[in-house]
């Protein structure tokens, strides 16, 4: 599964997952297949691995996450996907660097930060978590649009199963 994920062999990844391949299997460096897919920017393989339970915050032996891998290599679309699926860009690796710090350009650092805060706003709205909403709501994030569902904070509040306050 590691090789298929790293070489973007979508049909092979699908076949292996459908036949019980362990999505959380780690190699001797602690890398899981999701690290490989994200490192090379393989969007569809990344989606498949997440769909089958891949942990977007998995750590290798050096505490690198899939988002560290994607961000450090400017895999912008994969970064957005990981963030949409709950990746935390503030987790630190063994060098005390976050995925945000690992991004090679200021533009990508700002994009990751913005999307993370935007997803935090949407999640806070879904959970009716006023404290968290106050922490992340800014003039920029108030109009954040989820990159895949097109949900806004208003959509998230309206769809929330939690009591309205």
Q: Give the per-residue pLDDT at 127.
A: 93
The domain ranges of the chain are 1-104, 105-165
- Round the average pLDDT of the chain to a whole number and report it: 96
Yes or no: say if 70 and 98 are a contact pair by the CB < 8 Å rule. Answer: no
Mean pLDDT of all residues in 77-104: 98
Which range (78-82, 89-93, 112-116, 159-163) has the least confidence? 159-163
Output the pLDDT for position 164.
Answer: 62
Is the pLDDT confidence value at 165 over 70?
no
Token pair 């997803």 is at which residue?
119
Question: How would residue 139 be classed by pLDDT, with cut points 50, 70 and 90?
Answer: very high
Q: Are 77 and 41 in contact (CB under 8 A)?
A: yes
Which of 97, 131, 100 is CA-nearest to residue 113? 100
Residue 114 scores a pLDDT above 70: yes
> How confident is the model over 20-76, as pLDDT tens digits?
999 999 999 999 999 999 999 999 999 999 999 999 999 999 999 999 999 999 999
pLDDT at 125 over 70: yes
CA–CA gap between residue 132 and residue 163 (Å, rounded):
16
Q: Mean per-residue pLDDT for 15-20? A: 98
d(CA 16, CA 13): 5
Res 160: pLDDT: 85
pLDDT at 22: 97
Residue 93 CA, chain-centre distance (Å), reads 16
For residue 157, count other CB atoms closer than 10 A to its CB. Answer: 16
% pLDDT > 90, the chain: 94
pTM across the whole model: 0.93
How far apart CA 57 and CA 35 sit, in angstroms, is 10
Q: What is the CATH number of domain 1-104?
A: 1.25.40.20
Q: Determine the pLDDT at residue 161.
A: 85
pLDDT value for 89: 98
In the chain, what is the straight-line distance between the N-terminal and C-terminal CA atoms, in Å? 47
């Amino acid at each position: 599964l590691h090789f298929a994920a790293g070489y973007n062999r979508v049909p092979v990844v699908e076949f292996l997952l459908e036949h019980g391949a362990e999505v959380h299997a780690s190699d001797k460096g602690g890398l899981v297949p999701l690290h490989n897919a994200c490192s090379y920017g393989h969007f569809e393989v990344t989606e498949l691995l997440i769909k089958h339970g891949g942990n977007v915050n998995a750590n290798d032996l050096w505490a690198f996450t899939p988002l560290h891998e994607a961000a450090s290599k400017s895999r912008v679309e994969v970064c957005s996907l990981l963030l949409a699926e709950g990746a935390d860009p503030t987790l630190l690796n063994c060098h005390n660097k976050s995925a945000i710090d690992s991004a090679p350009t200021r533009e990508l650092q700002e994009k990751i930060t913005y999307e993370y805060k935007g997803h935090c706003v949407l999640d806070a709205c879904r959970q009716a978590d006023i404290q968290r909403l106050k922490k992340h709501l800014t003039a920029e994030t108030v109009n954040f649009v989820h990159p895949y569902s097109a949900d806004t904070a208003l959509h998230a509040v309206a769809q929330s199963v939690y009591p309205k306050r």
